[in-house]
Amino acid sequence: MGQRQSELTDSDQARKNEDWNPSLEDIELTKSMLIYRFKLPIEVVDDILSLAEYWSSDELVYDQLLTIYESRRVLIRIDDLFEELDYLHLVRPVGFLSEEEKFEEVIRSRKQYSLKLKRIQWKINAHDQGWSSYPADHGTFRNSWTWFEAMVTADGDSQDLSQSSDQEDWHQICKNFHAVSEFREQTIIWKPDHSILKKINQALLDRLSNDGNSNNSFLKIGITVRAVAQFPGWANTIQRVKCQFFYSI
């Protein structure tokens, strides 16, 4: 009995560690320790933290059962990521415990965090109408006409994004499996070379270097996520959409 209790405790602890989300201060402290205590170059430190995926994160979640037919529906819309998500606030460090006092002056000397979006991870639970006239495509993504997509908006773009069919700025996240009536969870990862991450990171850089006052920088940058059912007879049933942002400094 005692051994089983120990195994459960170890499992719970592992799960707790896996879910731990470092703060910006945690990341800054770790970088400072590696640089100033172990005399490592900043480039090496950045590589170490990147390989370890030692990043903080925030998330947006749509969590409501919904079915759409032959239409587009906005599920998540944030007009200003800088305000809505904690990680995009350009803040000053808040100081640390006494045992880290030797790093405090270095950390406090940074006026702003130079933030970098490292990954966007999507988890989507959905399915289509569960039937079609193309049995050879059932259970695949071929000829699937229900999907999810996202776009970046700048400076509070006021256009109606629910029914806009202009695909130039929309980026497909994933399709539903063709003619599958059960909910399927899909995980999709966008990395720094994705155009949406490039656009957000450029806006972060502009906002940091120009303090949001340059004509070449976005005063506001947002993200919109919508579900699509393209043609008559097609339905997109959504259970949950989770968008998780991973970032570092």
**Cα distance from N-terminal residue to C-terminal residue, the chain:** 46
Q: Which residue has the higher pLDDT, 219 or 8?
A: 219
pTM of the model: 0.78
Give counts: helices (H), strands (E), the chain: 6, 9
| Per-residue model confidence as pLDDT tens digits over 174-207 | 999 999 999 999 999 999 999 999 998 888 787 7
Q: Does residue 222 contact residue 156 with C-beta atoms inside 8 Å?
A: yes
pLDDT band at residue 116 using 50, 70 and 90 as cut-offs: confident
Q: Does residue 151 contact residue 171 with C-beta atoms inside 8 Å?
A: yes
pLDDT band at residue 220 using 50, 70 and 90 as cut-offs: confident
Beta bridge partners of 168: none
Sorted by where each begins, the domain ranges of the chain are 2-248
Q: Does residue 91 contact residue 85 with C-beta atoms inside 8 Å?
A: no
pLDDT value for 109: 45
Alpha carbon distances (Å) from 74 to 77, 105, 163: 7, 46, 9
Beta bridge partners of 244: 59, 121
| Per-residue model confidence as pLDDT tens digits over 132-145 | 999 999 999 999 99
- Rounded to 5°, the CA angle 130-125-188 comes to 115
Q: Which of 193, 146, 191, 154 is nearest to 172 (CA)?
A: 146
